[in-house]
Amino acid sequence: MELLCCEVDAIRRALPDRNLLYDDRVLQNLLTIEERYLPPCSYFKCVQKDIQPFMRRMVATWMLEVCEEQKCEEEVFPLAMNYLDRFLSVVPTRKCHLQLLGAVCMFLASKLKETIPLTAEKLCIYTDNSIRAHELLDWELVVLGKLKWNLEAVTPHDFIEHILKKLPLPKDKVPLIRKHAQTFIALCATDFKFAMYPPSMIATRSVGAAICGLQLDIVDSSLSSDNLTDLLAKITHTDVDCLKACQEQIESVLVSNLRQVRHHQGQSDPSKTVDELDQASTPTDVRNVNL
């Protein structure tokens, strides 16, 4: 007889589901529906009067820090930013309410994605108690209404596993590539430039940037820049030229973002992006399988 003693950690995660990750229909369906969840317009031009792009960046940076501090699942932050952008593209919002809105979006995204979600009280504390828990709960209702209760948005994370498994990558490097790609996705989410990009494009770029960053092409010529672009373009049905054209812009933003992050965190913890390999590994949505 075997005796098994488990001291289970608080978070339990499902194992990667091969039926989802190895079925191309999931990827195709994700590609079909992803555009539905993009904010419909560049809201700084046509909707918002009081808030400006740098304020979005401020609230995004704060949200990312809260998510990291609370060790949220990787999808929580980009999903919360998706809610924020979709809300801001329909509701003119005051500057002084923006942080509340950010907190509400994290609250919702966390509840959707996490086993043990962030609490309203905790989020209020992170705003330095400038908002109250009942306000958070009230606005949750308003935000839900404006999002039409449509919370299961497609995020770049949904594509990562699909892309990774289709590339000829050395097995031992995959966790690191995944981790870097997730970091790039988070950085993209803090920058409004990427808010209107389809998630699949962000995911493709992020994986591409992660592979380039690790200089895997030195070991394997099939991962050289051109080959990689071709491969990536095929996976997400993107035009190669379009992919290449955007690549430079995206990489430059990533570089400047990274520099900024390093600058910000110079005195804190620059290692957090690489550590913590403890993320969920079933990013796909069961509902995207059409039988």
Partner 1 sequence: MMGLESEEKVEIDPKVKADRVRRNLFGPVDHEQLQEDFQRLLWTSIEVARQKWNFDFIREIPSAGTLEWEELSCQDVPAFYRSCVIRGRKHLQGLQGATLQNSSCSQQPEVQAQERKTQGTPQPKKRRQTCMTDYYSAKRRCTSETDYSSKE
Q: Which residues bind partner 1 (CB under 8 A)?
A: 55, 58-59, 62, 65-66, 69, 91, 94-100, 125-128, 130-132, 134-135, 137-139, 141-142, 145-146, 180, 183, 209, 212-215, 251, 254-255, 258, 262, 267-271, 273-274
SS3 of residue 288 by DSSP: helix
Tokens of 19: 């039926």
Minimum Å gap between C-beta 6 and partner 1 is: 27
Nearer to partner 1, 97 or 165 (CB): 97
Nearer to partner 1, 221 or 267 (CB): 267
Nearer to partner 1, 212 or 280 (CB): 212
Nearer to partner 1, 16 or 213 (CB): 213
- CA distances from residue 147 to 36, 135, 188, 266, 290 in whole angstroms, order as listed: 12, 18, 22, 37, 24
Minimum Å gap between C-beta 18 and partner 1 is: 29
Minimum Å gap between C-beta 128 and partner 1 is: 4
**In the block, which residue shows the tokens 């990427």?**
194
DSSP one-letter code for 90: T
Nearer to partner 1, 29 or 182 (CB): 182
Minimum Å gap between C-beta 31 and partner 1 is: 26
Nearer to partner 1, 96 or 240 (CB): 96
CA distance 248 to 266: 26
Distance of CA 239 to the CA centre of its chain: 23
E strand or H helix at 27, and its extent?
A: helix 24-33
Residue 128 CB partners (closer than 8 Å, separation 6+) = none
Contact call for residues 184 and 205 (beta carbons, < 8 A): yes
**In the block, which residue shows the tokens 């990013």?**
283
Distance of CA 68 to the CA centre of its chain: 13
CA distance 181 to 282: 15
Minimum Å gap between C-beta 212 and partner 1 is: 4
Nearer to partner 1, 29 or 110 (CB): 110
Minimum Å gap between C-beta 103 and partner 1 is: 10
Minimum Å gap between C-beta 125 and partner 1 is: 6
